Amino acid sequence: MTLLDFARGPAIHASLIILVAGILLRLVGVLVLTRGADLSRPRDAFGNFKGYRTVFSRAWPASEFNAATVYQTAMAYIFHIATLIVVVGIVPHIEFITSLTGLSWPGLPNFIGVALGTIALVSLIALIMRRLSNPAIYNSTVGDYVTWIIVALPLVTGLMAFAHVGFRYETMLALHILSSALLFAYLPFSKLMHAFWFIFSRAQSGLAYAHKGVRI
Amino acid sequence: MSATATTQVFPSFAQVYQGLAGQIGMLREMAPQPTKSDEQRLKGAVDTLIEDTNADEAVWLESCIHCGQCTTACHYFQSMQDAKYAPMRKMDLYRRVYQREISPMRWWHRLVSKPVKLSDFEEAKELIYDSCTECGRCTMVCPMGIDTASLVHHMRSAMVAAELVPPELAALRMEQKHQGTVFGSSPDKLKEMIDTIREQAGVEIPLDKASAEVMVLSSAVDLVANGNGLLATAKIMNHLGVDWTICSDGFESANFGLLSGDMTLWKQQADPIVAAAQRVKAKTVVIAECGHAYPALRWNPMLRSGELPFEMMYMSEFLGKQAKSGKLRLKPLEQRVTFHDPCKTGRRGGAFDEPRAVLKAMDADLVEMPNNKEYNWCCGGGAGIFLLQDATELRDESFKIKIREVNETGAESVVVSCASCRLNFESGRQKNHWDKRVESLVELTAAHLIDDDESAAATSAQGAAQ
């Protein structure tokens, strides 16, 4: 079995199983905890439902905080959107998804894929530069840096494999798949779980404040 | 001059502040020493956190991505620019306990992390008390919407179990627990104050009526220092012709149970108020201008207020409702003012419109601060922090943000509706030789009541503020 066969086969499959099982373990493990009831009388009998707006409204910071947050928010958006399009939009990825699920859709031209991958990597570097240059603001832990590296690796190896830089193509491709497998297996046990938590966390706070007639 | 200065019966608020500052200095010496062993204190703290943690807290603890946005919102971080005051750090210790004791990954965290020690709680004391007013401004910017203030409140409960409450709060907590008073504000003191107000100002306060539509609460600041607060309240209630009373067995708004994190004491203070209101068949309970009393009573999640036969409202809400319905007519306030929303009644209470309706009834030139209502900067003195000597620098530095905000409005006066905010504003005003006046909403209202015989002349511009 070559390295590429290992990456394409057992490694990526195991990582996807860990990904799904890990996400379920963590989500269910938390969401089954009891919820403390707020017994106080709401300001407006049906006002609490307005709290769900926070799930959407918090997608961009309020203008009061613009000056301080706009750089990071913009970079984070560029990173998330570019990465997401690359993950589901380029032909080799679609072929892999098709092999697992049977679903397929037309892929993006190569040059767009490369451009988006580069944009994603540059925005990720822009974010870590800011984290490194403002230590007081970020309160960074080892986990923050490990997470950054694990997220950056698939991007770097993917771009290198495409551009035929570094080791020979098969090796680079194997490294790309292995680094993706690492990312999948790591996601449920790290702060990358925010991909799920944000919905619950925003909704909870939105409801708690809406109960008092406050829109956050 | 201002509303307070025209009344001769009691000292001005500037003097009140100086008098109270002296009393606060003595609290440190009265603080109780820990009585339990270190092991018991640590176990108590951890057990409290385990008990307090529901899915809400767990989700918030899981959600933080260390993005640093909360630092832009916190007045303490902004004024000190020190990493340790970042709001997200205030939940670090709670998260460690959560990860080892409750999280679905606890088996893993127990393998890789060190057990929590009592010294960890000792180190967290500054973050949990001195540098967090539980104002909730960081929640407004957090991309995950994490309610850090709630988590800090649970940490305060853990600190009670760990016997790590700051000396000033610990002393007042003990006083309220064992004597039922704050700064000696006993039922006798209440009666004495009511007699003084009757004799010297000629204003009647109906104490302990058998039944009344409106039950009014007072606060320690009113009773032992600032008699003008209670006097103003009485003038307004009598002027409105409200059927009201104060009950000597349930009048204290201040709740050092909630402030220190001791929820048993919170209940011990809240229960008699609820019982008194039910006994007198009150339809409305008016909470004195004491910001923390609002979450202690109106919004406390453990108080089943939906089933109570009365409504609880803050003083500013009561006044605002009267103004909106046209019952409270006021003389014009001929000056530019701005309104400071106390965290507990504003962002964490939702009483935004009512105080503004009162100022509108005075025809005041109200100019909002750049950050107002939900986004208002905390004055830095809430959640008991005004009392803490160790927090003096934090408080003084962060108040400069407030000075900037108020100065930008060009207002002559800043109106507040919370005794803690007002004391902190007064402290900041004196320390910085600030040229603004600090007014309390209830005292300002009382000074602008229109007497019936002069109501015909009231529309003329003379008379109010100067």
pLDDT tens string, chain B, 466 residues long: the values are: 444 444 468 888 888 888 888 888 888 888 888 999 999 999 999 999 999 999 999 999 999 999 999 999 999 999 999 989 999 999 999 999 999 999 999 999 999 999 999 999 999 999 999 999 999 999 999 999 999 999 999 999 999 999 999 999 999 999 999 999 988 899 999 999 999 999 999 999 999 999 999 999 998 888 888 899 999 999 999 999 999 999 999 999 899 999 888 999 999 999 999 999 999 999 999 999 999 999 999 999 899 888 999 999 999 999 999 999 999 999 999 999 999 999 999 999 999 999 999 999 999 999 999 999 999 999 999 999 999 999 999 999 999 999 999 999 999 999 999 999 999 999 999 999 999 999 999 999 999 999 865 544 444 444 444 4
In a domain? residue B21: yes
Q: Which two tokens stand for residue B225?
A: 């220092």
Is A46 an interface residue toward B (CB < 8 Å)?
A: no
Which residue stretches of chain A have pLDDT < 70?
none
- Integer CA distances (angstroms), A30 to B102, B150, B284, in order: 9, 18, 40
Based on the domain organization, do B202 and B313 belong to the same domain? yes
Q: What is the pLDDT of residue B452?
A: 67
Cα separation, A45 vs B446, in Å, equals 33
Question: Residue B105's domain is classified under what CATH number?
Answer: 1.10.1060
Domain boundary among B131, B162, B193: B162
The Cα of A31 is separated from the nearest Cα of chain B by a number of Å equal to: 6
The Cα of B293 is separated from the nearest Cα of chain A by a number of Å equal to: 14
Q: Determine, for residues B139 and A141 on separate chains, whether the beta-carbon distance falls below 8 Å.
A: no
Q: What is the pLDDT of residue B454?
A: 54
Q: What type of residue sits at position A156?
A: V
Question: Quick one: which of B316, B277, B269, B272 has its CA closest to B296?
Answer: B269
CA atoms within 13 A on the CB side of B459: 1
Which residues of chain B does A206 touch, with a Cβ-Cβ cutoff of 8 Å? 145
**What are the residues whose beta carbons fall under 8 Å from the beta carbon of B434, sequence distance 6 or more?**
B403, B428
Based on the domain organization, do B387 and B276 belong to the same domain? no
- Exposed (0-12), middle (13-18) or buried (19+): which is A56, by Cβ within 10 Å? exposed
Based on the domain organization, do B308 and B357 belong to the same domain? no
Q: Which two tokens stand for residue A69?
A: 């947050």
Based on the domain organization, do B315 and B373 belong to the same domain? no
Q: Determine, for residues A197 and B102 on separate chains, whether the beta-carbon distance falls below 8 Å.
A: no
Based on the domain organization, do B347 and B448 belong to the same domain? yes
Based on the domain organization, do B138 and B214 belong to the same domain? no
Domain boundary among B323, B355, B390: B323
Which residues of chain B does A204 touch, with a Cβ-Cβ cutoff of 8 Å? 56, 59-60, 145, 147
Q: What is the pLDDT of residue B20?
A: 86
Which of B105, B308, B350 is the closest to A189 by Cβ? B105
Which residues of chain B does A38 touch, with a Cβ-Cβ cutoff of 8 Å? 301
Q: Which two tokens stand for residue A216?
A: 């956050």
Q: Are B338 and B409 in contact (CB under 8 A)?
A: yes
Which of A36, A139, A213 is the closest to B66 by Cβ? A139
What's CA A152's distance to the chain center, in Å? 12
Cα B323-B303-B153 angle, rounded to 5 deg: 95
Based on the domain organization, do B204 and B274 belong to the same domain? yes
Q: What is the pLDDT of residue B164?
A: 96
Which residues of chain B does A60 touch, with a Cβ-Cβ cutoff of 8 Å? none
DSSP string, B99-135: HHHTSTTHHHHHHHSPPP-HHHHHHHHIIIIIT----
- Integer CA distances (angstroms), A128 to A60, B81, B365, in order: 20, 20, 47
Provide the number of structural domains found in chain B: 3
In a domain? residue B132: yes
Cα separation, A176 vs B201, in Å, equals 83
Q: How many CB pairs under 8 A join A and B?
A: 170
Based on the domain organization, do B189 and B286 belong to the same domain? yes
Q: CA nearest A25 in B: which residue?
A: B104
Q: What is the pLDDT of residue A122?
A: 97
Give the three-class secondary structure for B443.
Answer: helix
Q: How many CB atoms lie within 10 A of CB A102?
A: 7
Q: Are B137 and B398 in contact (CB under 8 A)?
A: no
- Exposed (0-12), middle (13-18) or buried (19+): which is A29, by Cβ within 10 Å? middle
Give the three-class secondary structure for A179.
Answer: helix
What's CA B303's distance to the chain center, in Å? 18
Based on the domain organization, do B152 and B197 belong to the same domain? no
Domain boundary among B323, B353, B376: B323
Q: Best interface-test mutation with A: which of B88, B144, B373 has the largest number of A CBs within 10 A?
A: B144
In a domain? residue B59: yes
Rg, chain A, Cα only:
21
Based on the domain organization, do B309 and B332 belong to the same domain? no
Based on the domain organization, do B331 and B312 belong to the same domain? no
In a domain? residue B177: no
Q: What residue ranges define each of the domains in chain A, with the CATH number in brackets?
A: 3-27+42-211 (1.20.950)
DSSP state of B216: E
In a domain? residue B270: yes
Q: What is the pLDDT of residue A135?
A: 87
Which of B55, B65, B81 is the closest to A191 by Cβ? B65
Backbone φ/ψ region at B206: left (φ over 0), alpha (ψ -120 to 50), beta:
beta
Which residues of chain A does B66 touch, with a Cβ-Cβ cutoff of 8 Å? 138-141, 144, 191
Residues 127 through 166 of chain A touching chain B, CB cutoff 8 Å = 131, 134-141, 144
Length of chain B: 466
The ipTM assigned to this model is 0.94
Based on the domain organization, do B193 and B317 belong to the same domain? yes
Using a cut of 0.90, tell me whether the model's pTM lies above it.
yes
Question: Residue B363's domain is classified under what CATH number?
Answer: 3.40.50.1860
Give the three-class secondary structure for B146.
Answer: coil
Q: What type of residue sits at position B402?
A: K
Cα separation, B31 vs B300, in Å, equals 27
Q: CA nearest A57 in B: which residue?
A: B143
In a domain? residue B466: no
Q: Which two tokens stand for residue B385?
A: 């922090």
Which run of H or E residues covers position A175?
A: helix A169-186
Q: Determine, for residues B140 and A216 on separate chains, whether the beta-carbon distance falls below 8 Å.
A: yes
Is A36 an interface residue toward B (CB < 8 Å)?
A: yes
Is A68 an interface residue toward B (CB < 8 Å)?
A: yes
The Cα of B307 is separated from the nearest Cα of chain A by a number of Å equal to: 8
Q: What is the pLDDT of residue B461?
A: 42
Cα separation, B291 vs B294, in Å, equals 6
Q: What is the pLDDT of residue A13?
A: 95
In a domain? residue B462: no
Which of B71, B302, B371 is the closest to A64 by Cβ? B371
Residue B439's domain comprises 326-457
Q: Best interface-test mutation with B: which of A27, A58, A64 has the largest number of B CBs within 10 A?
A: A64
Q: Are B21 and B58 in contact (CB under 8 A)?
A: no
Q: Are A18 and A184 in contact (CB under 8 A)?
A: yes
The Cα of B385 is separated from the nearest Cα of chain A by a number of Å equal to: 23
Cα A78-A83-A84 angle, rounded to 5 deg: 105
Give the three-class secondary structure for B360.
Answer: helix
Which residues of chain A does B104 touch, with a Cβ-Cβ cutoff of 8 Å? 25-26, 28-30
DSSP string, A44-111: STTGGGGGGHHHHHTTS--GGGHHHHHHHHHHHHHHHHHHHHHHHHSHHHHHHHHHHHS---PPPPHH
In a domain? residue B33: no
**C-alpha torsion A87→A93→A99→A104, nearest 10:** 80
Question: Residue B204's domain is classified under what CATH number?
Answer: 1.20.1050
Q: Determine, for residues B350 and A208 on separate chains, whether the beta-carbon distance falls below 8 Å.
A: no
